[in-house]
C-alpha cells in the first residue's frame, strides 16, 4: 500500500484526481465510485476538469435498501447531486435498492461488473473497517449481496438523516472480491475519527473482521489521508 499524507481534504481531492486522470489517459474505461463525505473533493475536481468522460462507464459500490432513487439520502441522489448532473459518462450504474427482487438485482449487478472490469476503484472506509457496505466478517470471495448494516454503521451514518430511525438497516453492496479484482484502488480517509480505521487498515492484521485490512493484499492501492487520519500510523 502506498500512503500519501496530505494537508487537507481539498489537497487529497487533487492528488486523487491526478491518479484518476492518469488512469483515464492510460485507457481506463471503467471507474468504480464511492459515496460518503470522503470522495466529495475528488468529484469536485472531476466536475471542474476538462477530461472527457464520455467513453467511461461508472459502477458505484452500494445503495441503501428501501430508499427511492430520488430520496435525498439515497446514493443515487448523492451521485447525481455531486457528479452525474455535471458530467456526461457513457453509462452510470448504481445498485437498485428499491426493487422487489434484491437477489436478482445482485446478480444483474455482478453481470455489469463482469462485462465492465473495474480499472480504478475509489473507496472510503467506515469506522468499523467496512468498504462499500462490506461489514466486518464479510467473506473475501463475496460478490454483490444484500447486507444487514451493523449498529456502528447505522450510528456513523445517522448524521445524514433527521432521525436514527430513518437510517436504513439493509444495503446492497458490491462484494470484497469485486473490489479486490479492480486493477487499481484509491482509498480516501480524512479526520481524526478515521485514525483508528486507517491504522488498522494499513498496519493491522489482515482479517475480514476489519474488511479494509484485506486491501493490504491488493497490488496497487494508494491511501490518501490527512494528518489527523494518519495520526496513529507508526511507519509514516
* String marking each residue 135-174 x if it binds ligand GLP according to CB under 6 A: ------------------x---x-----------------
Selecting among 45, 93, 119, 130, the annotated active-site residue is: 130
Nearest distance from C-beta of residue 21 to ligand GLP, angstroms: 21
Considering beta carbons, is residue 155 or 181 the nearer one to ligand GLP?
155
Q: Choose, by CB under 6 A, the member of 30, 35, 92, 182 that binds ligand GLP.
A: 35
Considering beta carbons, is residue 27 or 40 the nearer one to ligand GLP?
40
Nearest distance from C-beta of residue 11 to ligand GLP, angstroms: 16
Q: Which residue has the cell 444484500?
A: 146
Is 130 tagged catalytic?
Answer: yes
Q: Nearest 5°: phi and psi at 180?
A: -70, -25
Is 128 tagged catalytic?
Answer: yes
Per-residue cell: 38 = 470522503
Residues 61-120 that bind ligand GLP (CB under 6 A): 61-62
Nearest distance from C-beta of residue 135 to ligand GLP, angstroms: 9
Between strands 184-189 and 221-226, the pairing is parallel
For residue 193, give the nearest of 223, 229, 230, 224 by alpha carbon. 229
Q: How far is CA 131 from CA 145, 178, 213, 214, in A?
A: 13, 11, 10, 10
Q: How far is CA 101 from CA 7, 64, 65, 96, 104, in A?
A: 45, 14, 11, 10, 5
Selecting among 119, 135, 184, 226, the annotated active-site residue is: 135
Nearest distance from C-beta of residue 1 to ligand GLP, angstroms: 17
Give me the helices (H) in the chain, please. 9-25, 40-48, 75-79, 102-115, 151-157, 176-181, 195-203, 227-230
Considering beta carbons, is residue 116 or 153 the nearer one to ligand GLP?
153
Per-residue cell: 128 = 468499523
Is 60 tagged catalytic?
Answer: no
Is 145 tagged catalytic?
Answer: no
Tell me if 128 contacts ligand GLP by CB under 6 A: no
Cβ contact 2:221 at 8 Å: yes
Stretch that binds ligand GLP, among 125-133, 198-206, 208-216, 222-230 (CB under 6 A): 125-133
Q: Which residues bind ligand GLP (CB under 6 A)?
A: 34-38, 61-62, 124-126, 132-133, 153, 157
The catalytic residues are 62, 128, 130, 135
Amino acid at each position: 500500500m502506498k500512503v500519501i499524507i496530505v494537508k487537507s481534504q481539498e489537497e487529497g481531492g487533487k492528488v486523487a484526481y491526478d491518479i484518476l486522470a492518469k488512469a483515464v489517459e492510460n485507457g481506463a474505461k471503467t471507474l468504480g465510485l464511492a459515496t460518503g463525505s470522503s470522495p466529495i473533493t475528488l468529484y469536485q475536481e472531476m466536475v471542474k476538469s476538462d477530461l472527457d468522460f464520455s467513453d467511461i462507464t461508472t459502477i458505484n459500490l452500494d445503495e441503501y435498501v428501501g430508499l427511492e432513487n430520488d430520496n435525498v439520502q439515497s446514493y443515487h441522489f448523492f451521485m447525481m447531486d455531486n457528479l452525474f448532473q455535471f458530467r456526461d459518462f457513457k453509462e452510470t450504474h448504481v445498485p437498485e435498492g428499491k426493487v422487489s427482487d434484491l437477489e436478482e438485482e445482485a446478480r444483474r449487478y455482478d453481470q455489469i461488473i463482469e462485462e465492465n472490469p473495474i480499472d480504478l476503484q475509489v473507496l472510503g472506509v467506515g469506522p468499523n473497517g467496512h468498504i462499500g457496505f462490506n461489514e466486518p466478517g464479510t467473506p473475501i470471495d463475496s460478490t454483490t449481496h444484500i447486507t444487514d448494516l451493523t449498529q456502528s454503521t447505522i450510528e456513523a451514518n445517522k448524521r445524514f438523516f433527521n432521525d436514527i430511525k430513518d437510517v436504513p438497516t439493509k444495503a446492497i453492496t458490491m462484494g470484497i472480491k469485486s473490489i479486490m479484482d479492480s486493477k487499481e484502488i484509491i482509498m480516501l480517509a480524512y479526520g481524526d475519527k478515521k485514525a483508528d480505521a486507517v491504522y488498522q487498515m494499513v498496519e493491522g492484521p489482515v482479517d475480514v473482521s476489519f474488511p479494509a485490512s484485506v486491501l493490504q493484499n491488493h497490488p496497487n492501492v494508494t491511501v490518501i489521508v490527512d494528518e489527523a487520519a494518519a495520526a496513529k500510523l507508526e511507519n509514516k
